[in-house]
């Protein structure tokens, strides 16, 4: 009887470990992504900061994310708009469903909707300006 219980416990442990391992697939995000954003900037000083991609009164922004490298869950890339470029680093969550990033002056959270779509929330607060925006990024083919 004890042997049956031990085998049952071992089987359950292996099964749950296998399911947990299979569910944590890390997606490859390397490549170029077209980004369309809606949001706004609040001016906190006379002029926005030099890293800020937004201007006062602006409601939309187009840009590009270029993810240049990915090692396991660690991601490195650049965001570029008409106003300039900014490097960022990010981590993909263990379940492979989200990516959390920091650029030179703010943060963005991404839901990995599918292999070709990211849903992004960006924000920063500085002495010069504050920005909040939501975006959809589509992988360029």
Checking if the pLDDT of 10 tops 90, the result is no
- Using one digit for the tens of pLDDT, what is the confidence trace for 78-133? 999 999 999 999 999 999 999 999 999 999 999 999 999 999 999 999 999 999 99
Distances (CA, A) of 105 to 33, 52, 75, 78, 114: 21, 8, 17, 13, 27
The model's confidence at residue 13, banded by pLDDT at 50, 70 and 90, is very low
Q: Are 22 and 105 in contact (CB under 8 A)?
A: no
Checking if the pLDDT of 22 tops 70, the result is no
Looking at residues 59-88, what average pLDDT do you find? 98
d(CA 103, CA 38) in angstroms, rounded, equals 18
Stated pTM of the model: 0.82
Q: What is the pLDDT of residue 23?
A: 54
Q: Which two tokens stand for residue 141?
A: 């083919």
Checking if the pLDDT of 56 tops 60, the result is yes
Average pLDDT, the chain: 88
Distances (CA, A) of 65 to 40, 93, 114, 140: 19, 19, 16, 10
Q: What is the pLDDT of residue 4?
A: 55
């Amino acid at each position: 009887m004890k042997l049956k219980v031990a085998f049952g416990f071992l089987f359950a442990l292996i099964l749950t470990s296998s399911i947990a391992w299979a569910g944590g697939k890390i997606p490859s995000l390397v490549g170029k992504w077209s980004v369309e954003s809606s949001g706004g900037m609040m001016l906190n000083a006379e002029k926005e900061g030099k890293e800020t991609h937004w201007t006062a009164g602006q409601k939309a922004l187009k840009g590009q994310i270029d993810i240049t490298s990915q090692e396991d869950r660690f991601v490195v890339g650049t965001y570029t708009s008409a106003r300039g470029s900014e490097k960022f680093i990010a981590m993909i969550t263990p379940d492979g469903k989200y990516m959390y990033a920091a650029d030179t002056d703010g943060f963005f959270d991404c839901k990995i909707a599918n292999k070709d779509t990211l849903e992004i929330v960006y924000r920063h607060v500085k002495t010069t300006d504050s920005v909040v925006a939501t975006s959809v990024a589509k992988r360029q083919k």
